[in-house]
Amino acid sequence: MNTAHQPDQAASEDLPLKGIRVVEMSHMVMGPTCGMILGDLGADVIKVEPPRGDGTRRLLGAGAGFFRTFNRNKRSVTLDMESEEGIAALQKLVSSADVFIENFKPGRMAALGIDYESVRVHNPKVIYVSHKGFLKGPYDKRLALDEVVQMMAGLAYMTGPVGRPLRAGSSVNDIMGGMFGAIGVLAALYQRRDSGQGKEVQSALFENCVLLSAQHMQQYAVTGQPAAPMPARISAWAVYDVFELAGGEQMFIAATGDAQWRALCELIERPDLLADERLQTNNQRVLLREWLLQTLRTTLIGLDGAMLGPELERRGIPFAPISRPEELFDDPHLKASGGLARLTLEDGSQTDMPLLPISLNGQRLPPRRPIAKIGEHTHEIMRELGYSDAQIDVFCREGLKQAS
């Protein structure tokens, strides 16, 4: 375990990864997610950025929220990878790490002299985690994106209507890839306690997405019938759909058992459906599903969602309003349970940020430090490595030239 200076020690005192130093040289979503998880768990995460900063900081559109979402609880150091001094400093930094995270294309780390085989010579205890498009095999030199692997691994086919493959609406594979990288790190740290040796960990987008499709692969293996895309599949439950309510509001409602079916019919005052001999079991209702859903829609469209929701909850009927992401800032459960926490951004402003979906002894894992400014901790971290202020000033001057 690395015993170098730990920031915000009091805040990290009871966290599982206190004392673990992580050096993260990654960008976009997958690698930063891994670093964020380890940082939230108490590790000292040092993010290595080029002199102009991680390009993810400057993304617009769908990428505008990437950096702030996946880079909390990290310190920032800037190094110029075009200079011998910058590469030497990076190599020294990695040699001090318990964990090194990267997600660059194959060959880039070897060119910098920080591939796993090179690093382990000087740091045999290092846990080296690479986030790639594919694990070793025929595809491992291909470039991959979340959307690419969703198309390749069946997820897009299962999500969209027949003939219209559709990617999921979030970076599910990038985020899960970072999660699996973190899981590999935790397993390797546990094993290192006995072996004293580090390990190379790899996580990949394609294999991650194949796991998401595994249930559909096995559905085919069991039934001999290919799984149909979500919009076209035959549901196992008759009432399991989105319904329009009064005023154009939409709500998902499900009745997966006979008790829920009875409760729903009583709530919406449809005793005729409850008494219908053709609808006494779920399987009977599935056979009449198209007619039944249309019948329910004629009743539900006249009901107010604000009144219906509490009654569905009281009667134990699964339901969900169709929420937009921006509405989650005001979600009463997230606000009351501590699922959102104030995060200070690099410009000093603040935002509410969703936390990791876990608690330890009932406690959530909040941000312990603001989002770092570009290179904010370069002097601090370089001093920890034994560099003098004069040497650090040279790094910074060269970095400014590179960034201009």
Q: Which residues are catalytic?
A: 174
Measured CA to CA, the distance from residue 259 to residue 276 in angstroms comes to 15
Tokens 């009901």 belong to residue: 303
Sign of CA dihedral 80, 86, 87, 89: negative
Strand-strand pairing, 250-255 and 319-321: antiparallel
The residues that bridge with 46 in the sheet, in sequence order, are 23, 75
For residue 46, what are the CA distances in angstroms to 76, 78, 380, 382?
A: 6, 10, 11, 11
Q: In degrees rounded to 5, what are phi and psi of residue 128?
A: -110, 110
Measured CA to CA, the distance from residue 370 to residue 149 in angstroms comes to 33
Asked if 340 contacts 329 with a C-beta cutoff of 8 angstroms, the reply is yes
Measured CA to CA, the distance from residue 74 to residue 377 in angstroms comes to 10
* Structure-block tokens of residue 72: 């909390």
For the CA atoms of 26, 175, 29, 378, the dihedral, rounded to the nearest 10 degrees, stands at -50
HSE-CB of 393 using CA atoms within 13 angstroms = 3
The residues that bridge with 76 in the sheet, in sequence order, are 47
Asked if 321 contacts 309 with a C-beta cutoff of 8 angstroms, the reply is yes
**Which residue type does 64 have?**
A
The residues near 83 (Cβ < 8 Å, ≥ 6 apart) are 398, 402
Tokens 């005793």 belong to residue: 271
* Structure-block tokens of residue 338: 């501590």
List, as one string, the DSSP characters of 334-358.
HHHHT-EEEEE-TTS-EEEEEPPS-
Is residue 396 within a helix (H) or strand (E), and if so which, with residue range?
A: helix 389-403
* Structure-block tokens of residue 78: 């800037």
